[in-house]
Structure 1
Amino acid sequence: MTHEPEVITRAEVRDPATYDLVIRRAHVFDGHTALAGLYDVAVSGGEIAAVSAEPLRGVTEVDAAEGWVMPGLIDTHVHFYDVLAVSDSESMQTFEDDELPGRLGLFLQHGITTIKSVGDPTEGILTTRAKIAAGTLRGPRLLATGCGITGRDGHPAATVFSGNPWARARFAAEIDSVQQMRDLVHSLADRKVDAIKLLSEGACAHSGSPAYVWHIPAFPEAVELVRLPLAFLRAGIETGHERGLRVTVHTTQQAAAREAIEAGADGLEHGVTVEPLTDDSLIDLMLEHDIIYTPTLWAHDASHPDARHNVKKVADAGVSVALGSDTFSGRGLFGANTLDEAELMVAAGMTPVQALVAGTSGAAGQCVRSDLGAVAPGKRADLIVLTADPTEDIGNLRRLGMTILNGEIVVDKR
């Protein structure tokens, strides 16, 4: 489908008009494409009110000086709580008091205005989400699945949390039956999670599928896993859909990706990383089912050399790609890791514009948030102002001048 930019002319602008905020004389990447020429972008009541080729007036006016305005970035795959340090109630409280606010601030400092947590302790992450929404805690818009759902002795329970039973019981939910799967998804839906995440290669105790050895450099132990039983997978997806929730599935192998799609998954977390994507019919299946592919190169590029080739292959085929870094504690810097992910996408062979789409409108689609990820009237005013062109050089995402969240300037580096 051809994208038609939502731009208004002087005749359509309220005149005289005074908006809450006007960003003047800016190039615009609108979440889909770069608009030709310079524009004023007006914000009122937390929403984008106008994108005009003619001058607009605002209570607050910001001269972009022919820089760039684009949607704030969305990172759809984040592990926010410190998986290496949280091991009891006391350390959890210390993290929430001492580390959590600064970690939220780092995302805003790097131009990330929405994050999606996909495997944090349910109670903690939903409390954090509520505090941000209420304005008692400052941070990016937070979406959350709550805990990830896996099989007994599956990933991440038997991998990341093998030596941390307290965190294991909170970050991962291990299920042994179809009924347990259904009950857990209903419970999470009752808590008003934003989506459901299942882990396919995540059931060590079950047999009947090819083994997969889980190992990433951040953790010393390798663990042999097999796939979640198909009946469990289907039950989780069906129940999530019954409750109106999008369900994405952690996969790394072609066979697991196919199984997840055929079971009704809406998206693949990681996709295919541990082997070359050689099955073209799998790509056709992704297209047929409108799958969104989240490659998480930041976490897997170094240890899985096929991951780059695979994401280029799916992107070139027209599969929707969403930016998700798989950021977790212990490596890099929250926020900066998201920018690394965008740069790795381009290093893999995607164009800068493809990577920008993945981090804005594509990511908004993965999160089922049509109000985000675009610069157009009626969208949420989550914006960043850059001093250089990101459509030519993805590294210019680091040239941040300003972050705007819900129409409020929350970072100003000018």
Structure 2
Amino acid sequence: MPQDSEAVASGEARASATFDLVISRAHVFDGRRALAGPHDVAVDGGQIVSVSAEPLRGRQVVDAAGGWVVPGLIDTHIHFYDVHAVRDPQSMRAFEEEELPGRLGLFLDHGITTIKSVGDPTDGILKTRDALAAGALRGPRLLATGCGITGRDGHPAATVFSGNPWARERFAAEVGGVREMRDLVHHLADRKVDAIKLLSEGACAHSGGPAYLWRNPAFPDGVELERLPRELLRAGIETGHERGLRVTVHTTQQAAAREAIEAGADGLEHGVTVEPLTDHALIDLMLEHGTTYTPTLWIDAHPDARGNLKKVAGAGVRIALGSDTFSGRGLFGANTLEEAELMAGAGMTPTQVLTAATSGAARQCVRPDLGTVAPGKRADLLVLNADPTADIGNLRDLGVVVLNGEIAVDKR
């Protein structure tokens, strides 16, 4: 059959089929750009099977009525367990039984269909991930690094958890040598974590390295930390790569960001926040290495953080949305939407922010099945009542959330 005839036959077969779910007459942002004209989006078995300019038939139909379909949002940097409440086995169990289910649901209620935990107790967060995947809990898809890895007396061990030794052992892993670092990364890989997170500014043994004064309203005088030694940083990244895992590094200074990229880091968590980004060669290095920059403006209102995001985004550095949201401030899900608005306020266009929250975040998480509205991709979709490419605030005007091809939230 000639190619044109094959295309016609394929189109006719698609038009005559009946799909599990069809979202009809919607404008579509596909994860990178807005498609021209309205489309129907068809879903079968949890997967997108067609994005068609022609009408499609579905057993279940959501009439978008000229609204917008976008990929489900992805927050690549969250802390889920309550770092203040969890202090012993009893409080851990109480959190998991009484608080955890409702807080998971908040993400879906705000259109966040995937979250990445980057520093929660390994046993607990992996158990939660498994329960979500099995359908025993209602909530977004969960990806997890397990505990964050830092140096001896590093952040967050010596800062957030300085007065909570029980949680300190579980939320943060402190390492003092290369062998210890490699063994820990192998252990986490054996536990099937989705990625590895290292914290650069937080060790005592960086010979001659400049100190970093960690400030927080709870520590008004600051806590002096030093950067993770280069040999430990490199060992952690190399071992993660050996196990096929993406490795991102918590940084706030230009010098630490450069060290992380030169050591092979795939991404920067926070990036450069405590000083203006004046090292243009650092931006070139990010571009050369394909480094992902996760700005976490929600947690850091420092004006340099916003100005630095504008610089790196304008240069074409890959950006991923990550809010650094945690229990006790704001509201899960709502914080992610606030992060998107802060990114736009820093100078990114709505389309750039949407990309960072969808296909850019999926790339950061090494999940090519997510973050895009296209045949063969996972059917995590939002139906919005207004155009998010004109105003990122329209992410709040949410009608329907589809997770794995099923309607998870319906606000119509």
Q: Normalised by the size of structure 1, how large is the TM-score?
A: 0.96
Residue 342 (str. 1) matches residue 340 (str. 2) = yes
Q: Is the 8 A contact 2:26 2:64 kept in 1?
A: yes
Q: Is the 8 A contact 1:384 1:402 kept in 2?
A: yes
Shift of residue 94, structure 1, vs aligned partner: 0.4
Residue 386 (structure 1) aligns with: 384
Residues in 2 aligned to 1:266 and 1:321: alpha-carbon distance in whole angstroms: 12
Q: Which amino acid aligns with 1:194?
A: D
Cα distance change of structure 1 residues 118 and 13 upon mapping to structure 2, 3 Å threshold = farther
Residues in 1 aligned to 2:146 and 2:83: alpha-carbon distance in whole angstroms: 14
Residue 154 (str. 1) matches residue 138 (str. 2) = no
Which of 312, 315, 334 is 1:314 aligned to? Answer: 312
Cα distance change of structure 1 residues 226 and 9 upon mapping to structure 2, 3 Å threshold = farther
Q: Which amino acid aligns with 1:248?
A: T
Cα distance change of structure 1 residues 357 and 273 upon mapping to structure 2, 3 Å threshold = same
Which of 369, 380, 405 is 1:407 aligned to? Answer: 405
Cα distance change of structure 1 residues 218 and 312 upon mapping to structure 2, 3 Å threshold = farther
Residues in 2 aligned to 1:73 and 1:218: alpha-carbon distance in whole angstroms: 31
Runs of 4+ in 1 over 6 A off after TM superposition: none
Question: Normalized per residue, which structure has more strand?
Answer: 2
The answer for unaligned runs of 5 or more in structure 2 is: 1-7
Q: Is the 8 A contact 1:10 1:53 kept in 2?
A: no
Q: Is the 8 A contact 2:15 2:57 kept in 1?
A: no
User: SS of the residue aligned with 2:388?
Assistant: coil
- CA distances 1:290-348 after superposition (whole Å, capped 9, x unpaired): 000000000012xx220000001000000000000000112110000000000000000
Q: Which amino acid aligns with 2:342?
A: L
Shift of residue 138, structure 1, vs aligned partner: 1.0
Residues in 1 aligned to 2:216 and 2:289: alpha-carbon distance in whole angstroms: 30
Q: How does 1:272-351 map to 2 (within 5 A)?
A: 272-301=272-301, 304-351=302-349
Residue 170 (structure 2) aligns with: 170
Residues in 1 aligned to 2:155 and 2:77: alpha-carbon distance in whole angstroms: 16
Q: Is the 8 A contact 2:14 2:56 kept in 1?
A: no
User: SS of the residue aligned with 2:143?
Assistant: strand
Residue 93 (str. 1) matches residue 83 (str. 2) = no
* CA RMSD of superposed structures (Å): 1.3
Of the structure 1 ranges 207-216 and 188-197, higher mean CA displacement relative to structure 2 is found in 207-216
Q: What fraction of aligned residue pairs are identical, expressed as a percent? A: 79
Q: How does 1:53-92 map to 2 (within 5 A)?
A: 53-92=53-92
User: SS of the residue aligned with 1:58?
Assistant: strand
User: SS of the residue aligned with 2:305?
Assistant: helix
Q: Is the 8 A contact 1:204 1:224 kept in 2?
A: no
Q: Count matched residues.
A: 405
Residues in 2 aligned to 1:99 and 1:182: alpha-carbon distance in whole angstroms: 34
Q: Which amino acid aligns with 1:131?
A: A
Residue 365 (structure 1) aligns with: 363
Residues in 2 aligned to 1:44 and 1:397: alpha-carbon distance in whole angstroms: 25
Q: Which amino acid aligns with 2:346?
A: A
Of the structure 1 ranges 10-19 and 229-238, higher mean CA displacement relative to structure 2 is found in 10-19
Q: How does 1:246-265 map to 2 (within 5 A)?
A: 246-265=246-265
Q: Which amino acid aligns with 1:55?
A: P
- CA distances 1:143-176 after superposition (whole Å, capped 9, x unpaired): 0000000000000000000000000000000001
Residues in 2 aligned to 1:306 and 1:37: alpha-carbon distance in whole angstroms: 39
Shift of residue 207, structure 1, vs aligned partner: 4.4
Cα distance change of structure 1 residues 393 and 403 upon mapping to structure 2, 3 Å threshold = same
User: SS of the residue aligned with 1:298?
Assistant: coil
Residues in 2 aligned to 1:248 and 1:98: alpha-carbon distance in whole angstroms: 32
Q: Which amino acid aligns with 2:291?
A: I
Shift of residue 220, structure 1, vs aligned partner: 4.9
User: SS of the residue aligned with 2:298?
Assistant: helix
Residue 131 (str. 1) matches residue 134 (str. 2) = no
Residue 144 (str. 1) matches residue 150 (str. 2) = no
Residues in 1 aligned to 2:93 and 2:205: alpha-carbon distance in whole angstroms: 33
Q: Which amino acid aligns with 2:387?
A: D
Cα distance change of structure 1 residues 316 and 169 upon mapping to structure 2, 3 Å threshold = same
Q: Is the 8 A contact 2:201 2:228 kept in 1?
A: yes
Q: Is the 8 A contact 2:205 2:228 kept in 1?
A: no
Q: Is the 8 A contact 1:153 1:205 kept in 2?
A: no
Residues in 1 aligned to 2:356 and 2:285: alpha-carbon distance in whole angstroms: 20
- CA distances 1:118-155 after superposition (whole Å, capped 9, x unpaired): 00000000000000011111110000000000000000
User: SS of the residue aligned with 2:155?
Assistant: coil
